[in-house]
Structure 1
Amino acid sequence: MRILIMGGTRFIGVYLTKVLVQQGHEVVLFNRGNNPVPVEGVTQIQGDRRDATQLKEKLSGESFDAIFDNNGRELSDTQPLVEIFNGKVNHFVYVSSAGVYLKSQQMPHREGDAVDPNSRHKGKHHTEDYLKESGIPWTSIRPVYIYGAQNYNDLEAWFFDRIVRDRPVPIPGNGMYITQFGHVQDLAVAMAKVLNNETAIGKIYNISGDRYVTFNGLALACATAVGKSPEAIKLVHYDPTKFDFGKRKAFPMRQQHFFADIHLAQTELNWQNEYDLISGLKDSYQNDYLASGRNHSEIDFSLDDEILGKI
């Protein structure tokens, strides 16, 4: 198949490109050209997707069997792309987010659950609604927290920063909120399994790890990945309502239960995770955190110190 990936040179796109090329597909990337292609020989079309005129000029003459829209955040990002290829493509795969779900007393989140109209990810839900009405053959992927080497969001690295330097790990509340991490390689494999799967047309799939973990448990798992005894890690709990952080981020995850049911994807896509939490964290620590030299970088712990100073 000839496949277009919007993005393709950062995190999810890097892994997806490699998976698709290994499967024998011809992959074309559309991005601004700020980063090298992840696989030699992959075609890269440079442009700004937010410029609808430019998008049409660059892509209207191209033909693809499938499109992966990895980086559309708002409907205005994706609609011009759909308008170009509607009726001309066999499958349009959109990367949404489990962040669209409305906070619920009943967990885990399932694909049919209510969405939060005020979520910061509401643009993704608006895009899903548009895809449903557009007539294009679509599938939407809703990851929870994504981790792994080349992660540009400070998730696992936030914990590594503190653990490798023998610092206390400040965790809001009692550390018993439950969350979920999914390795980016597992996400890429699941996305590829959507292709040539008629069952996946018009469906939404949660994708993440197959087990859940508390904030405390995540910190201890990171310690294990780093090679330290979990018993040696000092977890410090605090009440976030006692602090005025403003827009500063004292902790890398939303302070609520946040995890999703992935059984639909496992069943309909015939997909299973390769990485459990520990093996995935070890992969990220060894192949990204240490490899990049971040363990020797200067890290700003001023917020930590503010918290620790008041406990």
Structure 2
Amino acid sequence: MRILIIGGSVFVGRAITEEALRRGHEVTTFNRGRSGVDLPGAEAVRGDREVPEDLDRLVEGRTWDAVVDVIGRVPRLVGASVRRLNGRASTYTFISSISALSDFPARPCDESSPRYACAPDAGPEDGDYGTLKAGCERAVEEGFEGGALIIQPGLILGPHEDVGRLPWWLDRISRGGRVLAPGDPDRAMQVIDVRDLAAFTLDRTEAGGADRFLAGGVPANTTYGGLLAECRAVTGSDAEFVWVEDRFLLDRQVEPWTEFPVWAPADPDFAGVWLTSSAKALAAGLTCRPVAETVRDTWAWLRDVPAAERSFRSHGIDPEKEAVILAEWE
């Protein structure tokens, strides 16, 4: 197939590009060239989807069998891309997020769960991340004159992660010592490896047609304690986990999900965070590797990234704050 990947050089987009090339597809990537590197074998077209002239240059003289849009976050801009690509591909696959569902993370979700109310022509000022993703989905579904395929991933981990959730934990645990571990170590989680998400995305893109899939991975495929234990094992660390109760941390204004990546406290606002249904995707062929393999391969990649170049965005607690909380807990 001839596939256009909007994005294609960072984390999810990189994994989809790699998998498409491995399968022998002819791949074009379209991005600004600022965040990642071009993968050998793919045609790289430089441009910004916000610039109409760049979209014109992208499509001039080209057609594809499918488009995979990995980076769309603003409905108005996604809609512009959709309109420009109408008639130039038969399938438009949009990588959305489970955050587009208004019940998430407070309640269990599946493909029938309601989405946020967001217009397909909304601008960046018209909502938060999840709300705008819902609008992007509508921009694809209502504007593309072909098969609109929506993929809504849950928590994505794996090599080349640019968000810094698993990399932060691996880096922190590798330094050893007493490590503050938040919440309940036995709380079941649900994660998906970026490479498994890429394979499923391409399977469904190759199949064509319009559909929607939640892709959160296998339910209860790890626990928080199990995930951190895998980090300790692959790093060879002497880290000693000190498990601190949710309420103790919340009372000290510790931010869930970010200061301790993927920490979701036992709180009504997070009651459904690990209870999303991947039943439809699993029935359609989604396969998921063991979480231990994801942790191992992420560490193997991270070890080659110089410490000075490791960027975890806003994730991870300040070491001094961690030390103060540990002292208070003990």
* TM-based fold match above 0.5: yes
2:314 pairs with 1:303: no
2:299 pairs with 1:285: yes
Aligned pair in 2 of structure 1 residues 158, 46: CA closer, same or farther (>3 Å)?
same
Conserved? CA contact 1:96–1:140, under 8 Å = yes
Q: Output the amino acid matched with 2:155.
A: Y
Separation in structure 1 between the aligned mates of residue 228 and residue 37 of structure 2, nearest angstrom = 33
Once the two structures are TM-superposed, the CA of residue 104 in structure 1 deviates from its matched residue by 6.1
Q: Output the amino acid matched with 2:320.
A: S
Conserved? CA contact 1:99–1:121, under 8 Å = yes
Separation in structure 2 between the aligned mates of residue 250 and residue 122 of structure 1, nearest angstrom = 23
What's the RMSD between the two structures over aligned residues?
2.9
Q: Which residue is 1:14 aligned to?
A: 14
Which whole-Å deviations, capped at 9, do the CAs of 1:245-274 have from their partners, x for residues lacking one? 589942222622423222212222x2312x
Aligned counterpart in structure 1 of residue 230 of structure 2, from 188, 198, 221: 221
Q: Which residue is 2:210 aligned to?
A: 202
Conserved? CA contact 1:289–1:295, under 8 Å = no
Q: Output the amino acid matched with 1:195.
A: T
Aligned pair in 2 of structure 1 residues 221, 204: CA closer, same or farther (>3 Å)?
same
Which whole-Å deviations, capped at 9, do the CAs of 1:8-67 have from their partners, x for residues lacking one? 1111122211211121211001011234312x2321110111223432343244211110
Aligned counterpart in structure 2 of residue 240 of structure 1, from 249, 252, 255: 249
Q: How does 1:60-71 map to 2 (within 5 A)?
A: 60-71=60-71
Q: Which is worse superposed, 167-176 or 138-147? A: 167-176
Conserved? CA contact 1:168–1:235, under 8 Å = no
Once the two structures are TM-superposed, the CA of residue 85 in structure 1 deviates from its matched residue by 1.5
Once the two structures are TM-superposed, the CA of residue 234 in structure 1 deviates from its matched residue by 3.2
Separation in structure 2 between the aligned mates of residue 67 and residue 181 of structure 1, nearest angstrom = 25
Aligned pair in 2 of structure 1 residues 69, 245: CA closer, same or farther (>3 Å)?
same
Give percent identity, aligned residues only: 23
Q: Output the amino acid matched with 2:223.
A: T
> TM-score, structure 1 length as denominator?
0.86
Separation in structure 1 between the aligned mates of residue 175 and residue 206 of structure 2, nearest angstrom = 48
Q: Which residue is 2:56 aligned to?
A: 56
Q: Which residue is 1:185 aligned to?
A: 195
Conserved? CA contact 2:99–2:133, under 8 Å = no
Once the two structures are TM-superposed, the CA of residue 289 in structure 1 deviates from its matched residue by 2.0
Separation in structure 2 between the aligned mates of residue 133 and residue 282 of structure 1, nearest angstrom = 41
2:156 pairs with 1:142: no
Separation in structure 2 between the aligned mates of residue 171 and residue 97 of structure 1, nearest angstrom = 27
Separation in structure 1 between the aligned mates of residue 299 and residue 278 of structure 2, nearest angstrom = 25
Aligned pair count reads 303
Unaligned runs of 5+ in 1: none
Once the two structures are TM-superposed, the CA of residue 119 in structure 1 deviates from its matched residue by 5.6
Once the two structures are TM-superposed, the CA of residue 181 in structure 1 deviates from its matched residue by 1.6
Give the match's secondary structure for 1:83.
helix
Once the two structures are TM-superposed, the CA of residue 157 in structure 1 deviates from its matched residue by 1.7
